[in-house]
Structure 1
Amino acid sequence: MNTLVKKITILPMILLGFLFINSAVYADHFSSPEIISPNFMKIIGYLKINGLDAEPGDEVAVLDSNQIILEHTVVTANGEYVLTLFGDDLNTEIDEGFQASETISFLVWDKSEQSEIVVEDSMLTPVDREYPGLEVHSFDPQCFTFPGMGTFCFYQFSADASFHGLDIGVTYTPPEMTIIDFSPKSSDISGGGTLSITGTNFKEGITVTFGDTNSGQVSVINSSFLACTVPAHGYGIVPLIAVNPDGKAFTVTDAFEFIAPSPEILSVHPNKGHIDGNIPITILGKNFQQGLVVKLADNDITEYTFSENQITFINPSNTANIVDITVTNPDAKNTMFEGAFEYKDIIAKFDILSQNTGKAPFTVVLEDSSIGDVEEWFW
């Protein structure tokens, strides 16, 4: 009997190869074991999703009564699908597949929406259909009526090597794309780290934006998890925005913080000057930000020029003292350079070399020349 089953299925199998051949190769979403058994049945039909022919890459899977996927197929063209269901070989002690009259159910994978759909019996339509050289019979469910509970219909496996026509028309509302959580919640302004995002209905081609700056790279691990590269960005808290290729978006407001590093003062030039002030002082350092505040001793410096690495201002007058300089960025991060500048009351010392000549030759000794070049002296 087993030999006969194998022989009578050779011709239909060849015909099906011509009917559903397609050179495209798609990665499977569902997985099922490889089963070798002489007992089998075939299901042939068309799959529609929300009224449209299934697209290449969509899938149909068949589950046993324990909700385990034993067979699946990938749609290749025009919504057509073919499933081969292998049954248990009664000549062996191994359970190779479906049992005779076992209840079967279906799952559909919508590749474009990255969604699994449970197929209800109302979405299944048995059909009689003829292909060249092949006759397909309708796949009628077995229905049972239970007192007080109504009628229940089940599709069952039958190891008769026959070909059954069953069209599947699923209707469902694709899940919305959402962001549930992400980590980390912050980065320094240089970016470069990896952000992990969990959510729903992530699709290949999704974009992630930090405020107005796109992530450099997004990797969709599955429909509920993705990873992306954090871009460089100015400091502050920005929204996190994900947009699927179909234009559906999800925004988390005030989500991600770009943290600027603290300012640093490396040196001050000059570091000494007269108590009258009014000389240019240059601070060399890094991480200076627009809107910073400079404080020299107790004096707020309101006029200055700056870049990320340099600040220049005219120092105010002060009593003779050694004072600190503090730079505070708008984000309140600051740095202090202790003993940054010395105010000095410069004294010119005159030494009379000779009193006998009646002349007054003088030697001028400057205590400190770091206040700048002397152009002219009066006395």
Structure 2
Amino acid sequence: MAVCGALVRSGRLSRPISGRNSAFIDSRFAVVKRLASALSYVPETAPSDFGETTKMNLFQSINSAMDVALANDPTAVIFGEDVAFGGVFRCTIGLADKYGKDRVFNTPLCEQGIAGFGIGMAVMGATAIAEIQFADYIFPAFDQIVNEAAKYRYRSGNLFDCGRLTMRAPCGAVGHGALYHSQSPEAFFAHVPGIKVVIPRGPIQAKGLLLACIKDDNPCIFLEPKILYRAAVEHVPVGDFSLPLSSAEVVVEGKDVTMVAWGTQVQVLREVCNMAQEKLGVSCELIDLRTIMPWDSETVIKSVNKTGRLLVAHEAPLTGGFAAEVASTVQSECFLHLEAPVERVCGYDTPFPHIFEPFYMPDKWRCFEAVKKLINY
């Protein structure tokens, strides 16, 4: 174990970043930036009581959150594939130089090992922040997360836990990722008691929610929509602040249709709200779930009891997606208030396509058609 730890910290078991790899990463940045600029995005403003702010995009706010965590918690460590130089999306850039290779270090290309190492560090009392390079590659770590991290506290009768473990992973469509770099795996982990699953919609949310995950006494999976990394900037608080987990937020108020989403899809549905108002005279209420598990059902139920209609949208495939859990709960709790069946607009039950990605995505046009269906039922 000591030898393995030394090799991990030295980076000798990690993939080297050659000039060719760097050029490849830079080319990805260009594509991501071009696609993000086409995304309809409404920058938000942080509450005044959060203190001094500065302009950050989402990847910079993630970096700022981890900077705060490392500065405030001497036990905090960051590890993952290539994180020492900044990672594929540069979320950890500058942190190894600032805090040293013992606190920000590369690991082998082994997601199961990353998760197991993080569990061990958290059990021993450290604050472990692990990066899975893409959410698509979190599946080799599934056994460690589901059968170890999620159950550690329960099986020991609360004598031991790995609560200070946070696993970050870029997720979702990016315009060129195809079947191995575009998946949204949140529903897999929402089925597992003992872990929290969180997805932000923008820079302010990303920093506040990530810091809340890092401080939380339960293992958390923090999924970062990669298309949003460079989509827009917001005035993000520079200091330490947290946003509440398991608390949905009403982003747009309305009275005719409730729409529920998380991550990138919140930005898509913002535009649908405007389209519905302009073209149909329909007032939509948009809710960002933020935490997928444990999720805030009360906020959604209250909204649906008011509007009588619900649309849930996510990029993951339709069958077994988390929209099904939301729809089932609303059907049970709001049955006498519903004016139409719940609509789900999701990815299709196929592997994520490459050239057919525009047809696969739950874009604004598919969501707009669902709003018309709800109104005309």
Kindly indicate which of the two structures has a greater share of residues assigned to strand: 1
* Higher RCO (CA < 8 A, seq sep 6+): 2
TM exceeding 0.5: no
More helix by share: 2
Query: Structure 1 length normalisation: TM-score?
Result: 0.24
Q: Which has the larger radius of gyration?
A: 1
